[in-house]
Every structure is written in structure tokens, then in C-alpha cells.
Amino acid sequence: MYPAPREEVAYVTCTYRETCIDQPDYLATVDLNPRSPHYGQVIHRLPMPNLKDELHSSGWSAGCTCFDNVNTQRTKLILPSLISSRIYVVDVGSQCRAPRLCKTIEPVEVFWKCNKGYLNVPRSLPNGDILIANVGDPSGNSKGGFIVLDGQTFELKGNWENECEAPPSGYDFWYQPRHNVLISSAGMALKRAGWGFNPDDLKKGVYGRRLNVWNLSCRTLTQCFDLGEDSLPLSVKFLHNPDAAEGYVSCALSGIIYRFYKCERDNWAVEEVIRIPAKEVAGWIMPKMPGLFDLVISLDDKYLYLSNWLHGDIRQYELSRNCKPRLVGQVFVGGSILRGGPVTVCRDEELKCQPEPLVVKCKRVYGGPSRLQLSLDGKRLYVTNSFYSTWDKQFYPNLVKEGSVMLQIDVDTEKGGLTVNKNFLVDFGKEPCGPCLAHDIHFPSGDSTSNIVA
């Protein structure tokens, strides 16, 4: 297994947007040391200097490592704001248990220099610069592509791709240096979807459908795959093996996980490997309920984990070169189809009955599993239950009222299997300024969504 220490703290992005609490978003530091008297508690909060940023994704200023140096020093955490388009740079190296803000890039600079906005996933590049995916333009229309920060000064350098090659939408990306490739997903037009999910927006181009293949060194778009209307491909992950030329993308609204792979020199292909059927329901916004997924891959490339925000389950799939992923573990940690809730399942191809609500340490868990993070040894899977504040408020009003949680799922790395750790709960409903919504998770020691081996 991956040679690295156990995680002792986690940095979690938290927002008050859409909660009716007029407080700034903040970065929470969570104690993960089981020997600590503050285990499972927020031990520090770093508030941002502005309101309603919607801190969402985060990433390290140094996450791309060479093959023989996996313990890269991670001293700066990059916090792009999904709604305000502001970028914060946080120093976690000086005091890892009490981070401090060291730089802010204002939205107007992003708008004028890049004609981009609505910033999402940041990752460091092999040359040390930082790439940030954008979801839209300054007006909230769909627009893909990336902006670049200098890896030393954190100054905004401009756009990464040529203007004429910006895809129609964007969300997430991953790259594989040894194959000189970057693959990015599509997102949604926040000008429309940012106000909530409306079935009338389907078939109108609001939700993305493309998977994009880029030449990493030339910064040019080389291939595009159409994954279907309103498929909404979001999370993209390569295998961690630096020589591997394959990975996976989850399509939130179609319920399909695709494997992408290199089939010949500089040409890539996709194939469907997992399909999670929509559930026929009553009492919901549509007669069929899709899943809405995030995914993470263990560092040994043995398992793929999938969170299903609407259905409420986390799945563990065993990966193999010779066959499609095999489901070996599943656990429910909330969702919209719980027994006794407002939604009735009329037809379900997978379940015989609706799952029971989850209670951990006397707290009822609302919402569904959203962002995942896996320990380096693969034995502990952490999950938060906020997807995006406006959609949280629409689909899980009790989540907004009671606040998010962070759970730990114990993983059987030998035979497969998932179990909720009933002794671990980070309750963001008891925060000093009131209940908040927690999303992204990172460990300063490294994690399964940061490490890219060059």
C-alpha cells in the first residue's frame, strides 16, 4: 500500500450561502488523530473576508510529484469561489492546525484578464503553476477552459487554452504527464442551474454532455466525446499509476460511469462500464430520480468509490484490467428515498425496500453523500453531504437547517466492504455562527484526489 503517514488533520471548505446566516464562508480544520482529545472536532476556523463566495472545491499549490518523491510539501491551499469567482490562497505550512489567509485575487481581475468566472477545481501542473477549471463566463453562461496562477507568486497569469478552443462548458479535470494528456468534463450553466434544478431546463443545453481530451504540453483540444444529452459528466479521475492510460468519468444525470482509455497513439476512446438506474418515484420533482455522483480511486488503483447524492448510497467497485468494475461494497448514509420521507419509490431495479435513516452519535444525518476523500492507505473514506448550497436548499431543506456532517466509512481493502464508523462524526450543525454546509476535504499529508505522479 502507499507509503505515507496517517492523516491527522483535514481542511474542509464550508459555506453559509443559502442558509440565511449572514456570515462569511470559512476553511475548517478538523482533528483526525484518534489519540487527540479533540478527535472529530473542528479545531480552527479561517473565515474569508467576503460574504457568499460559495467555497466549493480546493486544491494544493503542489500536488504533482515526481515518481520517487511522493511526500511533497503542501504549504498552500487554493480556494476558488464557485459563485463570486474570487480566489483565496491559504498558508497551511506555517501552522498546519491554524491556517492563515495570505493572498486574495478579486473577481474583477479574473473577469477582465480571462473573461472567465465561476471557478471550480484547482490542480498544480508539472511545471509548478496552478490550473483552475472554470464553469462559466462572467455572466454565468456556460464556458469551459482554465485559468493559470503562477506557482510561486500566485499571480493570475491568464487563460491556459487558446480562446478559440474553450469548450462550451467545464467542471473538473485530471491529467497524466507521461501520456501528455489532460481530460476535462462538462458542467452546467449556472445562470440557469445556479438557481436550482428545473426539469424544464433539460434538453435546452443547460447541462453539459462532453468529455474533452487535451494535449497537455501544447494546450490544444484534440478530441471530444459526446456522452449524451443532459448526461452532465462531472468528476474525472485517472488511475494513479503514472504509466496507466485510463481513467473514469461519472455522469451525474444519466447515471453512467465511463472508462476512458488510450487505444492507439494519441487517440482515446470511451466505454460504458457502470450504469446505475434511475428510480421511479412519487413525491419528487420528476417521476424518475437520477443519482448525482462523485468518484475517487484508491492510490493502489484497486478500488473505485462512488457517492450517490440523491439515492443516498456510497459504492465500492473493484477495478480490473480484464473486466468491468465489480460492486463489492455499498452503504447508505442518507439520501432522498429514505423510509418515512416525502418520496415513495414505485419501482427500483436494485433495492427491495427503502433504506432507513442514518443516526450517528445521536444525530440524524440529512442530505446525501457528496464529496469523497480517501486516506492514503485506503482504509478510511471520508464523506460530506453538501453538493451545492442552492441545490441543498431545494432537495434537502433539513440539511440547511441542521447543518452538514462529515462521516468516516471504514473500508475492507482485502475483500471489499463498507461500514459507517459510528464513533466518528463532525457536526457542522453546532458551529459557533450557526449550521453551515461542508463540502471539499483535503489532507496536508496527501490524499487520493491530489497526488498526480509525473
CB count within 10 Å of CB 162 equals 12
pLDDT at 3: 59
CA atoms of 406 and 67, how far apart (whole Å)? 32
HSE value, Cβ hemisphere, 13 Å, CA-based, for 451: 32
Closest CA to 366 of 384, 350, 381: 384
pLDDT at 87: 98
What are the b/e assignments for 90-112, b being 16+ CB within 10 Å? Answer: bbbeeebeebeeeeebebeebee
CA atoms of 390 and 396, how far apart (whole Å)? 10
DSSP secondary structure letter of residue 37: T
The three-state secondary structure class of 13 is strand
Write the pLDDT tens digit of every residue in 167-188: 999 999 999 999 999 999 999 9
Contact 240, 453 (CB under 8 A): yes
Contact 230, 256 (CB under 8 A): no
pLDDT at 453: 72
Give the distance from CA 298 to its chain's centroid.
15
CA atoms of 337 and 357, how far apart (whole Å)? 9
CA-to-CA separations, 192 to 112, 153, 310, 335, in angstroms, rounded: 23, 35, 20, 24
Helix (H) or strand (E) holding 402: helix 397-402
Instruction: Strands of 206-312 (E only): list them.
Output: 210-215, 220-226, 233-238, 246-251, 256-264, 267-275, 279-282, 288-289, 293-297, 303-308
Q: What residues does 407 pair with on adjacent strands?
A: 383
The three-state secondary structure class of 85 is coil
Phi-psi region of 139 (alpha: psi -120 to 50; beta: other; left: phi over 0): alpha
pLDDT at 69: 47
Nine cell digits for residue 106? 478579486
Give the number of residues written for the chain.
Answer: 454
pLDDT at 424: 97
Contact 234, 227 (CB under 8 A): no
pLDDT at 67: 42
| Residues in contact with 395: Cβ distance below 8 Å, sequence separation at least 6, in sequence order | 197, 310, 336
Nine cell digits for residue 453? 505522479
Phi, then psi, of 73 in degrees rounded to 5: -75, 125
Please provide the DSSP assignment of 41-70 as one string. SEEEEEE-SSS---B---EESS-EE-TT--
CA atoms of 229 and 407, how far apart (whole Å)? 34
Enumerate residue ranges in the chain where pLDDT < 50.
1-2, 66-70
Domains of the chain by range and CATH? 9-442 (2.130.10.10)
Pairing outcome for strands 87-91 and 437-442:
unpaired
DSSP secondary structure letter of residue 384: E
